[in-house]
Structure 1
Amino acid sequence: MTPAARLAAVAELIQAIEETPRRPADATANDFFRARRFIGGGDRRVVADTLWAIIRQRIRLDWHLRHAGAAPSARLLLAAHLALAEGRTLPAIEEVFAGGRFALEPLDAKERRTVAALTGKPLRDPAMPEDVALNIPGWALPLFRERFGAALEREAAAMERAAPLDLRANLLRTTRDAAAIALAGEGVATAPMPFSPWGLRAEGRRPVTGTEAFKAGLIEVQDEGSQLIALLTDAQPGMRVADYCAGAAGKTLAIAAVMQNKGRITACDTSATRLEGAVKRLRRAGVDNAERHLLAPGDKWTKRRAGSFDRVLVDAPCTGSGTWRRNPDARLRTQASDLAELTQLQSEILGRAAELVRPGGRLVYATCSLFSAENEGQMDRFLERHPDFEPLPLATLWPALRPGAEAPGEGPWLATSPARHGTDGFFAAVLVRRPA
């Protein structure tokens, strides 16, 4: 593909994403590339990198376009990115919009005036209000300030950067050191993670799913923060464990590995599609102590198994605000109304999942959110309603899990963030059910 053709593909992809604003952008992008298999790997990377760069800066690009008197469109978002982020001149941008078979149609007079007004300006303009300058939706700014205080700007900057490629060594098939050696043999350099005992951070953005190490089940792609949630369950061989919001079973895989395939882990979810997608991953990882259960309306499964699990993990549906560096379009899709709906849903899920925990067993509540309403606030409300549960502070639990390692959180709960810990923003609370 020519450079102009690549950028034409970017504009086409932006338009497709704009037409389905509530759908995750990566799903739309996957469909786009699947339908255009003629786009080679190198061209695909350029198109994808440009797309995500635009999405990451969308709040600022929209501000610039509004101040230039224009409404955002796929063409203008691309042109604004070229002018503001890449520093291209108007003539250079017009070369992209040259017309012809594989290039975008020429800028019309209004588009040209808009682009001319943007050239030479900084992407982060001093005139921007604080939320735009920090690249945070206005409704969410007070919530981030509540979470980070004086560290807000540093954390906001970290959330703009692309997330690293984090891997988890599958202890059922290998060790972390052996997995690193296997990856190095395929040209993928890694380094051990600071917090997760199973984690490896890859250098660069190699497509590791094509490596023999991945195909053989030696590794899984999983953010370090997510790995720590599995670690905090402290599941032991022989236990009964429920992963109550399992999704595609990423944490189920990690927990099964530390259980050494002994005992039983049940992956539960309300989506049959997600649970079905977990089958291939479980098989590749060599997990044979896991079963799946679809949580359906009117289902009696939770009531029949009340008080029978040693560990219950609730990785609750949430705003995902801690993953915005990994899913930058989520900061555009998520609204204040979503937060209100999700906190109610989280409360309901917690109440049902708590019934599964045996006396003396543990309930682990986790989100990939940075908002206190979904985290500390949720714990305060749950403990008020459930006096039979009490917190197991991180400071008490962590030394046995990671001797000599710094705990990722200062209070009673685990709380990670992109700037401070280099992970996605995760929260986790461990609660113990008092013996009857």
Structure 2
Amino acid sequence: MTKQPYNIRQIALELLIRIGDQGGYSHLVIDQQLKKHQLDARDGALLTEIVYGTMQRKLTLEYDLATFIKSKKKMDNWVKWLLYLSFYQMKYLDKVPDHAVIHQSVEIAKRKGHKGIASLVNGILRSAQRDGFPDYQAISDPARRISVETSHPLWLVRRWIKQYGVSITEEMCQTNITHKQVSLRIQPLKITREQLIERLEENQIKVHKSPFSEQGLVVEEGNVLKTELFKESLFTIQDESSMLVAEMMDLKEGQTVLDSCSAPGGKATHIAEKLKDNGKVYAYDLHAKKAALVEEKAEQLGLTSITAGQADARNLREKHEEETFDRILIDAPCSGLGVLRSKPDIKYNKTSEDVARLSTIQKEILSHIEPLLKKDGKLMYSTCTVDQEENEEIIKDFLVNHPHYQVDPSFLENLPEVLQNSPGKSEVGIQIFPQDINSDGFFMTRLIRNS
């Protein structure tokens, strides 16, 4: 049964409270509600748009609201969230007329609060409709302006400006509030890229080939998750930056590979596919339930070369002898600041202390695992973040303390052409920014063991 429009917004309000005030993970909470309420495609899309959009623009909407509130009277958080989601619809969604947004929001305020709150909500929304929203260009401090305009915490904007400059930071922040394209990786042991393109076109889905992976496709039109092709596990949803990791590991059939921080298994299964399922892939995760997800993913794709298990990456020398592996992947636990388009709540919950704590863990993992690599073996280090403390500085520190390692010269030479002149390219690896090819922010490098 299709819900009435105000009910979609009522659900959206409850979800925003759970995510914003109670610490729920946006992607999990939204998925649970879509299943619980059995919304049709149109209502589900609207709910997702309102919740993600409002979370993505929270600091901007907060700034907007401050311009319409004259008194210092305390406002309940749920009222703020109701106003934020209303502002979001009025500013960014063309298909919903302002009068409908105002009417539905006032109705919700009546039900959840009382007449006085409904009157307050009505007054603020009508003022916004009449006067319009503030001009952020009037903010003189560039960091403050970027923070407000793109809804990124000020500490983070200042940190990135210090690391990368104003131009790259602003472009990155602007990209982070846009919709991310969907990309997928074919299972090459089941189907070729050309065959999948043909079958997707039969389903009215338009794609183009990824420059990052011979297995990669980028969706231009259509929903691949609704196809039988997805149910048949002919492909895996994976971001292009993430695909590049296995592509750059210099994998060869018959090798023994360690994926030390594996869940949910996208890279482990990609490694197995690159090996043509002819080799051994040991995949570990700190949590047993997440390690089980890797096994499940391998089974879905029909891959038999993956052995998954629970383990702290800092204790893997208890499970394997030194110089066991031809290749090692450390897709290190990180702040996740490269995936803000998919998980907007991350940027409001992370602190500089979190980054420092994670960088310590990353160093410990690298130092513990490196003896497991064979001489002349190659170690891939990657993160889905864009912070130098978790990326370049980690590698520089590791190389100083482990002189028997060096950056593999052929790694930088063989990067895709689109990244060869990237501002994120350095002597220790490549920092992919979200704006580079409209993918996740990712860092990666490949080290070689000389002795």
1:203 alignment partner, SS class: strand
Q: Which moved more, 1:95-104 or 1:266-275?
A: 95-104
Pick from 337, 345, 359: which aligns with 2:353? 337
Provide the residue aligned with 2:275 in structure 1.
259
What are the Cα deviations for residues 55-114 of structure 1, in whole angstroms up to 9, with x where unaligned? 111110112223433755322222222344348887544311353899877653333333
Q: CA deviation at 1:423?
A: 1.5
Q: CA deviation at 1:260?
A: 0.7
2:183 alignment partner, SS class: strand
CA distance in 2, matches of 1:267, 1:297: 10
Alignment of 1:171-320 (within 5 A): 171-204=188-221, 206=223, 208-296=224-312, 301-302=317-318, 304-320=320-336
Q: Tell me if the contact between 2:82 and 2:105 (Cα under 8 Å) persists in the aligned partners.
A: no
Q: CA deviation at 1:245?
A: 0.5
CA distance in 2, matches of 1:7, 1:303: 51
Q: CA deviation at 1:240?
A: 0.6
What are the Cα deviations for residues 150-205 of structure 1, in whole angstroms up to 9, with x where unaligned? 33322221111111001011112122111211222222211001222211001246
Structure 1 residues 102 and 29: alpha-carbon distance in aligned structure 2, compared to 1, 3 A threshold: farther
What are the Cα deviations for residues 214-245 of structure 1, in whole angstroms up to 9, with x where unaligned? 22221100000000011111111011100110
What are the Cα deviations for residues 304-339 of structure 1, in whole angstroms up to 9, with x where unaligned? 322110111000111111111222221122222211
Alignment of 1:103-118 (within 5 A): 107-118=117-128
Pick from 96, 109, 118: which aligns with 2:104? 96
Q: Tell me if the contact between 2:13 and 2:85 (Cα under 8 Å) persists in the aligned partners.
A: yes
What are the Cα deviations for residues 112-137 of structure 1, in whole angstroms up to 9, with x where unaligned? 33334433423653344322123221
Give the gaps of 5 or more residues in structure 1. none
The aligned amino acid for 2:193 is R
Matched residue count: 429
Q: Which moved more, 1:172-181 or 1:119-128?
A: 119-128
Pick from 131, 144, 163: which aligns with 2:180? 163
Give the gaps of 5 or more residues in structure 2. none
CA distance in 1, matches of 2:47, 2:287: 32
Q: Tell me if the contact between 1:96 and 1:103 (Cα under 8 Å) persists in the aligned partners.
A: no
1:304 alignment partner, SS class: coil
Q: CA deviation at 1:366?
A: 0.3
CA distance in 2, matches of 1:102, 1:295: 52
Q: Tell me if the contact between 1:266 and 1:290 (Cα under 8 Å) persists in the aligned partners.
A: yes
CA distance in 2, matches of 1:273, 1:26: 18
The answer to whether the aligner puts 1:122 opposite 2:133 as a matched pair is yes
Identity %: 23
What are the Cα deviations for residues 270-310 of structure 1, in whole angstroms up to 9, with x where unaligned? 11111111222111212111101211599565463221101
1:173 alignment partner, SS class: coil
Q: Tell me if the contact between 1:136 and 1:156 (Cα under 8 Å) persists in the aligned partners.
A: yes
Q: Tell me if the contact between 1:302 and 1:352 (Cα under 8 Å) persists in the aligned partners.
A: no
CA distance in 2, matches of 1:84, 1:60: 11
TM-score w.r.t. structure 2 length?
A: 0.87
**Segments of 4+ moved more than 6 angstroms:** 87-90, 100-106
1:430 alignment partner, SS class: strand
Cα RMSD (Å) = 2.6
User: Relative to total residues, which structure has the larger helix share, 1 or 2?
Assistant: 2
CA distance in 2, matches of 1:308, 1:418: 35
